[in-house]
């Protein structure tokens, strides 16, 4: 089955996705910088830090930043998958049931791979 979207619609989603990709990449680069700063600060700190009861602050900050970074990475790969689907003509087709994904849903979430029904089933 291939997408029944018009080339104009597809192009519009492609533009949206490319913009999202640029945003995610920016965030990714930004946090990548922060991460290496934190890493540098960490390696400069005393080895006793891990046993310091006041220590978790750094660890907490670290894991928060790791989470943001992981989000940006996941978003990048979602966007890349969506762009690949545009390229191979399966964009807007539910990857689970093969039905069309509502355009309104794609407008809200251009990286959606599942139709609303399947998304509800999967959770």
Residues that bind Zn ion (CB under 5 A): 94, 96-97, 115, 118
**If we measure between CA atoms, which residue out of 15, 12, 61 comes closest to residue 39?**
61
Q: Which is nearer to Zn ion, 2 or 60 (CB)?
A: 2
Closer of 70 and 97 to Zn ion (Cβ): 97
| Backbone φ, ψ for residue 100 (5° rounding) | -70, 140
| CA 54 vs CA 43, 48, 49, 92: distances in Å | 17, 11, 8, 50
Minimal distance in Å, beta carbon 9 to Zn ion? 19
Beta strand spans in the chain (E) = none
Least separation in angstroms between CB 116 and Zn ion: 8
Measured from the CB atom, the residue of 24 and 94 that comes closer to Zn ion is: 94
Residue 97 Cβ, how far from Zn ion at the closest point, in Å? Answer: 3
Give whichever of 72 and 94 is closer to Zn ion, judged by the CB atom. 94
Q: Which of 71, 86, 62, 82 is nearest to 25 (CA)?
A: 71
Query: Shortest gap between Cβ of 87 and Zn ion (angstroms)?
Result: 21
How far apart are alpha carbons 80 and 95 in whole angstroms? 15
């Amino acid at each position: 089955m291939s997408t029944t979207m018009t080339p104009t619609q597809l192009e519009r989603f492609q533009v949206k996705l490319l913009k999202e990709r640029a945003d995610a990449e920016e965030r990714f680069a930004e946090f990548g910088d922060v991460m290496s700063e934190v890493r540098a600060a960490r390696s400069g700190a005393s080895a006793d830090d891990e046993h310091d009861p006041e220590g978790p602050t750094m660890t907490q900050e670290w894991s928060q930043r790791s989470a943001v970074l992981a989000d940006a990475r996941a978003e990048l790969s979602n966007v890349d998958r969506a762009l690949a689907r545009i390229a191979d003509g399966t964009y807007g087709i539910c990857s689970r049931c093969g039905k069309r994904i509502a355009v309104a849903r794609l407008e809200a979430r251009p990286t959606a791979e599942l139709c609303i029904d399947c998304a509800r089933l999967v959770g």
